[in-house]
Amino acid sequence: KALDRTMLILLIFTSQSLMAKANHCAEGWKFYSGKCYYFSTYKKTWTASRDACVAEGADLVIITSTEDQCLGIEHYWIGLTDAVKEGVWVWSDESNYTYNDWGPGEPNNIGSDNCVQLYNNYSDKWNDAGCNYTCPFVCYKSE
């Protein structure tokens, strides 16, 4: 009986511990739809932004649906670039580029714009911008 009681207590403790960890992101990260997001409060270039995300075990946010687009992001770097081959847009994790939400007339490649930001002047639609421009960024990773 003592062993059964010990096992029950251990089972309850383990399940409570697992439940406490569910939907949990590191401090400063926000949970949304199964992922953790970090909204920077400082500006970096696209490459430096990606490096900062990777250092945290994450990547620049990848937007694959309207739902992802509604994260409340505005004027932030996202993980889309055509730096490898002009006009061939790829996500920073090399996943397929199937969804887009370009602003009017974008991408326009003014000044060799090879990186993409959500741009509040376009109602949070996408804008291609020079990768050396600095703006805040959003990282994402699995919880």
Which domains are delineated in the chain? 26-142 (3.10.100.10)
- Residue 129, classed as helix, strand or coil, is strand
pLDDT, position 15: 41
Find out whether 136 and 52 touch, Cβ atoms under 8 Å: no
Q: How is residue 44 written in tokens?
A: 């970096």
What is the tens place of the pLDDT at every residue in 13-48?
A: 444 444 434 568 999 999 988 899 999 999 999 999
What is the tens place of the pLDDT at every residue in 53-83?
A: 999 999 999 887 666 655 555 678 999 999 9
**C-alpha–C-alpha distance, residues 101 and 16, integer Å:** 41
Mean pLDDT of 76-100: 90
pLDDT, position 32: 86
CA-to-CA dists, residue 10 to 22, 51, 55, angstroms: 18, 41, 36
**C-alpha–C-alpha distance, residues 98 and 141, integer Å:** 20
Asked if residue 133 has pLDDT above 80, the reply is yes
pLDDT, position 63: 83
Which CB contacts under 8 angstroms, 24+ apart, belong to 50-56?
50/77, 50/79, 50/92, 50/137, 52/137, 52/139, 53/137, 53/139, 53/140, 56/139, 56/141
Percent of the chain exceeding pLDDT 90 equals 45
